[in-house]
């Protein structure tokens, strides 16, 4: 019986409820507001909970969709990993911010810092821990941006000491900081 209870707890940890989404989104939207990313454009984005999807989480059709269970969650369950819902939402809100403020993303600075235009599938790099925060960040400039943005929110805009000696990551962090200042000052 203890093994069955442990398995049930593990499964529950990987199933997202509507209340989980509301709680996590409240936290992340406070972070967005406190760090200067909230705007009228962002205020129009909704977060929707869905029963299930094989497509995973995502920014899709101008909104964020969070399924109760996805193929990625099942993979996490099998491998013993766990991804925090707040981190998923931070990442997806990054895509929303980028989409709603695309003029700020379509800059030479973004291309320089992230290695290509935001939507470029051609600007894929091999994972380099001195250049990327995660392996997923190496897949496309938009995912690299979303990963840096998610860490920026998680760390309340303060660069973690362990990243200070990585100039490429620091430049990306500074881009996200510049983006917040630009949005909060109304430079849309």
Residue 23 · residue 84 · CB < 8 Å: no
Domain that holds residue 42: 2-184
**What pTM did the predictor assign?**
0.87
Return the ∠ at Cα 169 (arms to 90 and 93), rounded to 5°. Answer: 15
- H or E element, residue 41: helix 40-43
Q: What is the pLDDT of residues 72-103, one digit of tens each?
A: 655 565 555 667 889 999 999 999 999 999 99
Q: What is the pLDDT of residues 13-71, one digit of tens each?
A: 567 889 999 999 999 999 999 999 999 999 999 999 987 665 667 888 889 999 887 66
For 20: left if phi > 0, alpha if psi spans -120 to 50, otherwise beta; the answer is: alpha
- Tell me what pLDDT residue 78 has: 58
| Structural tokens at position 59 | 């920014």
What span, in angstroms and rounded, lies between the C-alpha atoms of 20 and 38?
22
Total structural domains in the chain?
A: 1
What span, in angstroms and rounded, lies between the C-alpha atoms of 64 and 85?
13
What span, in angstroms and rounded, lies between the C-alpha atoms of 69 and 72?
8
- Tell me what pLDDT residue 127 has: 92
């Amino acid at each position: 019986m203890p093994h069955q209870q442990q398995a049930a707890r593990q499964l529950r940890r990987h199933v997202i409820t509507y209340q989980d989404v509301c709680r996590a989104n409240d936290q992340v939207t406070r972070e967005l507001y406190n760090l200067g990313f909230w705007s009228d454009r962002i205020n129009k984005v909704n977060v929707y909970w869905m029963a299930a999807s094989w497509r995973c989480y995502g920014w899709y059709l101008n909104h964020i969709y969070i399924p109760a269970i996805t193929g990625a969650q099942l993979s996490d369950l099998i491998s013993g990993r766990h991804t925090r819902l707040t981190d998923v939402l931070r990442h997806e809100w990054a895509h929303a911010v980028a989409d709603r403020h695309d003029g700020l993303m379509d800059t030479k600075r973004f291309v320089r810092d992230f290695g290509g235009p935001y939507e470029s599938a051609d600007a894929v790099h091999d994972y380099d821990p001195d250049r990327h925060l995660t392996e997923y960040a190496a897949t496309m400039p938009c995912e690299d941006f979303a990963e840096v943005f998610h860490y920026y929110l998680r760390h309340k805009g303060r660069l973690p000491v362990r990243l200070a000696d990585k100039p490429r990551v620091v430049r990306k962090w500074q881009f996200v900081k510049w983006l917040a200042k630009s949005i909060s000052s109304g430079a849309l």
